[in-house]
A and B are shown apart, each in its own frame.
Chain A
Amino acid sequence: MNAAAAIEVSELVTHYGSRRILDRVDLRVAHGEIMVIMGGSGSGKSTLLRHLLGLQRPTSGAIRLLGMDITASSPAELQDLRRNMGVSFQGGALLSSMTVAENVMLPLREHTALDEQTMQIIARMKLEVVNLGGFGELKPAQLSGGMIKRAALARAIVMDPKLLFFDEPSAGLDPVVAADLDELIIKLRDTMQMTIVVVTHELDSAFKIADRITVLDHGRILLTGSVDEVRSSSIQRVQDLLNRRPREEEIDPDDYLRRLTGG
């Protein structure tokens, strides 16, 4: 692999209707790095993730994953790239009609010509990795929130992807389970040299797992840096986020009046 970054976003601009969600976002993630994208609600971090996953087309800008610009690639190229990507969604997004093991096997079944038994063994191995050995025959509805996230992680890593994405891994989990998941993320990077992007608003988890952190606010990148750099940042909004201070917005009287009168 060349020295280029695993993920390279440049000048990304996106709109939702006429509203601008992301404004000239630049982001580089090195190979084997854990990058945490942080920001409050409405900061645009989920939108950024959807674009990184190629689920939406940006207004302008480029997104290079493993050297390929997904905003300009053909469906077949994107298809090939997706074998090298794993995603753990916020709610797990396991297919509810299948058992956990079938869910984990799904990418193998669709993308490889392995025989059934090999696929089952791989699926069991991945379930062991996420400490869900023996739960393969259950349906997603029979699992707890933490188990669903771990099962989703097993599915995300079943193809041994080079890129792994997490959407709010610790949301909705109790602190112990969340800490387990954090450990698992670090372990995956260390043992499998994956490049990992985590979108979260959980500070503890972010500081624990991150090599670098990007702080997003109102669709703009405030800061990208190491954990210490973020902690000691002098930017007011970053400190507000870290110290859970409510935002104090200055109100423009004219603007305010115009909004009230609907003009």
Chain B
Amino acid sequence: MAETRQAALAISLARVGRAVVELLEEFGYYLALVVESCFWVLLGPSRRQPVRLSAAVQQMVEIGINGLPIVFVLSFAIGVMLAIQGIHTLKQFGAETQVVLGIALSVTREFGPLITGILIAGRSGSALAARIGTMVVNQEIDALRVMGINPVRYLVSPVLIAMLVMLPLVTLFSDFAALLGGAVFCNLELGLSYAAYWDQSTGFMTTDDVLQGLAKSVLFGIIIALVGVSNGFAVSGGAEGVGKSTTRAVVLAISYIVLADMAFTYFLNR
């Protein structure tokens, strides 16, 4: 009896150990990808293998610009939702007008970057994994390598640049959309004018609040790029493998974003 329990314990310990090793391996891979991408950005030109600006711009359009409509709609809705909840809560203290403060801070510090991160992970993280995964399956990555075109330089560096540039910009856009949502609802519900709403919001907010949100979004951008790309490169087993990796990329990216958000917020507000 004791022996079987020991054996079971050993097995579960081994399983935990393997999981930890796999996790470390994955993070090591992420780190290597970042280092290699930066290497090509900095030293590519001197090795006659520059990272193409046009490829980065194309990715920026794909990741950022094409995602703006959906970011606007969802951020606006979040703003409205925050206003509804805020007014409902604050009514109990007769302090409805303080809702503007709540909206302004929670949008810029939390909801703007978070909703942007999650949306872009869903839109572009999955697309990235699917695109690179399909290229692996079709031997396109092998073809790039034998043509002397480094796949990390050609495919990963532009994506990383695009994410680093676009995530903060889209987050800023999301901040405005959410504030607008809050403003519209407050205008309808409390009769607060848009000018007064804007004055109050900017009065409460400090640059730090906005910067904190933008700093987070940079981190989210790196997470989305790395998780998407690495899951793409890890594809094996044809079309089914592409599907699995795409799902994994989205779920992992969103999970990492939420966890990183928590950790980041904790350390920044100590």
A91 touches B147 (CB 8 A): no
Min Cβ gap B229→A in Å is 16
Give the residue of B142, B146, B147 whose beta carbon is less than 8 angstroms from that of A110.
Answer: B147
CA distance A90 to B149 in the complex (A): 19
A13 in the interface (beta carbon within 8 A): no
A89 touches B147 (CB 8 A): no
A55 touches B140 (CB 8 A): no
In B30-57, the 8 Å CB interface with A consists of 47-49
* Chain A residues in 8 Å Cβ range of B154: 110
In B216-253, the 8 Å CB interface with A consists of none
Q: Who on chain A is nearest to B141 by CB?
A: A93
Between A and B, how many residue pairs show CB distances below 8 Å?
55
A145 in the interface (beta carbon within 8 A): no
Main DSSP-derived SS at the A contact region: mixed
A87 in the interface (beta carbon within 8 A): yes
* Chain A residues in 8 Å Cβ range of B139: 89-91, 93
A176 in the interface (beta carbon within 8 A): no
Min Cβ gap B2→A in Å is 28
B143 touches A93 (CB 8 A): yes
Interface-located stretch among A14-22, A77-85, A221-229:
A77-85
B47 touches A76 (CB 8 A): yes
Chain B 142-183, CB within 8 Å of chain A: the 1/0 string?
111111110000100000000000000000000000000000
Min Cβ gap A86→B in Å is 8
A2 in the interface (beta carbon within 8 A): no
A55 touches B145 (CB 8 A): yes
A106 touches B147 (CB 8 A): yes
Min Cβ gap B242→A in Å is 13
Chain A 65-79, CB within 8 Å of chain B: the 1/0 string?
000000000001011
CA distance A76 to B46 in the complex (A): 12
B142 touches A93 (CB 8 A): yes
B149 touches A85 (CB 8 A): no
* Chain B residues in 8 Å Cβ range of A111: 48, 148
* Chain B residues in 8 Å Cβ range of A95: 135, 140, 143-144
* Chain B residues in 8 Å Cβ range of A97: 131
* Chain A residues in 8 Å Cβ range of B85: none
B49 touches A93 (CB 8 A): no
Min Cβ gap A115→B in Å is 16
- Report the interface size for chain B: residues with CB under 8 A from the other chain: 18
CA distance A50 to B48 in the complex (A): 25
A82 touches B140 (CB 8 A): no
A54 in the interface (beta carbon within 8 A): yes
Main DSSP-derived SS at the B contact region: helix
CA distance A83 to B143 in the complex (A): 13
* Chain A residues in 8 Å Cβ range of B149: 106-107, 110
B142 touches A79 (CB 8 A): no
In A206-222, the 8 Å CB interface with B consists of none
B138 in the interface (beta carbon within 8 A): yes
Give the residue of B135, B140, B143, B148 whose beta carbon is less than 8 angstroms from that of A79.
Answer: B148
A241 in the interface (beta carbon within 8 A): no
A91 touches B138 (CB 8 A): yes
B126 in the interface (beta carbon within 8 A): no
* Chain A residues in 8 Å Cβ range of B49: 79, 110
CA distance A90 to B143 in the complex (A): 11
CA distance A94 to B140 in the complex (A): 6
* Chain A residues in 8 Å Cβ range of B138: 91, 93, 96
* Chain B residues in 8 Å Cβ range of A93: 138-140, 142-143
B143 touches A82 (CB 8 A): no
Known: A91-B139, A95-B140. Is A85-B48 also a contact (CB below 8 A)? Answer: no
Q: Who on chain A is nearest to B147 by CB?
A: A107
Min Cβ gap A4→B in Å is 22
* Chain A residues in 8 Å Cβ range of B124: none
Chain B 39-77, CB within 8 Å of chain A: the 1/0 string?
000000001110000000000000000000000000000
A89 touches B142 (CB 8 A): yes
A55 touches B47 (CB 8 A): no
Min Cβ gap A147→B in Å is 16
For the A-B complex with A83-B148, A94-B140, A96-B138 known, give 7 more contacts whose Cβ atoms are closer than 8 Å.
Answer: A54-B145, A79-B47, A91-B138, A93-B143, A96-B134, A96-B140, A106-B149
Which residues of A are interface residues toward B (Cβ below 8 A)?
50, 53-55, 76, 78-79, 82-83, 85, 87, 89-91, 93-97, 106-107, 110-111, 155
Which residues of B are interface residues toward A (Cβ below 8 A)?
47-49, 131, 134-135, 138-140, 142-149, 154
Q: List 25 A-B contacts (CB under 8 A).
A: A50-B142, A53-B146, A55-B145, A82-B146, A82-B148, A83-B148, A87-B146, A89-B139, A89-B143, A93-B138, A93-B142, A94-B143, A95-B135, A95-B140, A95-B143, A95-B144, A96-B134, A96-B140, A106-B147, A106-B149, A107-B147, A110-B147, A110-B148, A110-B154, A155-B147
